[in-house]
Amino acid sequence: MSHNVWKILRGDFVQVIAGKDKGRQGTVVQVIRDANRVLIEGVNLVKKHVKGTKEQPGQIITKEMPLHVSNVAIVDPVQKVPTRVGFKFSSVDGRKVRVSKLSGVEIPRPEVLKMRLPKYARPVAASEKDTSPNTAALNTLNVAAAALPSKPE
C-alpha cells in the first residue's frame, strides 16, 4: 500500500535516519511509489555478481538499492539537519507548499521535476487522429436505418 501524500520527491536532498547507512546524505534519484521506496545517489550500495557472456566476462558491479521511505528524512535547507515536512498554503499566491517543521522555512520543489524522465516520455503524433472522419462515418451504426422490425401478430 502506498502513501497518499508524498513528502519526498525526486531531486530532494535527504539523509538516511535508520539502517546501515544512517547519517549519509544524498539526492533522491527515483521514487518508487508502489513499493514505498526511494533510490538515493551513492547510498545503500551493494555488490552484484553478473554472469559472463561470450562477449563480456563476468564481473562484480556496485549498484544502489532502494531504501524504504520511512528510513529517510529531508534535510532542512537552513539548518542542514534532517527534519519532518508539513504543508501550508502560501500567503503570496495560495499554492500548497512543503514546509520544514524544524525551521518553518518553505522547502522548494526540485528543479529536476520540471523535466520528464526519458523512460516515461510518450511519443506524440503530429496532431493526427488514428481514424479518419470518413472511415469513422462508414463504420458508425446508423440507428434510424437499423431499426428493428416489428413482430408479426
Q: Are 40 and 22 in contact (CB under 8 A)?
A: no
Better-scored residue on pLDDT, 123 or 65 = 65
Q: What is the average pLDDT across 33-40? A: 93
Q: Are 9 and 31 in contact (CB under 8 A)?
A: yes
Q: Where are the domains of the chain?
A: 13-49+60-118
pTM for the whole thing? Answer: 0.69
Q: What is the average pLDDT across 68-80? A: 94
Q: Are 104 and 91 in contact (CB under 8 A)?
A: no
pLDDT of 73 > 80? The answer is yes
The sign of the dihedral angle between the CA atoms of 99, 102, 104, 108 is negative
Confidence band for 77, pLDDT divided at 50, 70 and 90: very high
DSSP characters over 9-59: -TT-EEEE-SSTTTT-EEEEEEEEGGGTEEEETT-SEEEEEE---SSS--E
- The CATH code of the domain at 13-49+60-118 is 2.30.30.30
Q: Which three cell numbers stand for residue 126?
A: 503530429
Q: Are 24 and 15 in contact (CB under 8 A)?
A: yes
Confidence band for 87, pLDDT divided at 50, 70 and 90: very high
Q: Are 56 and 37 in contact (CB under 8 A)?
A: no
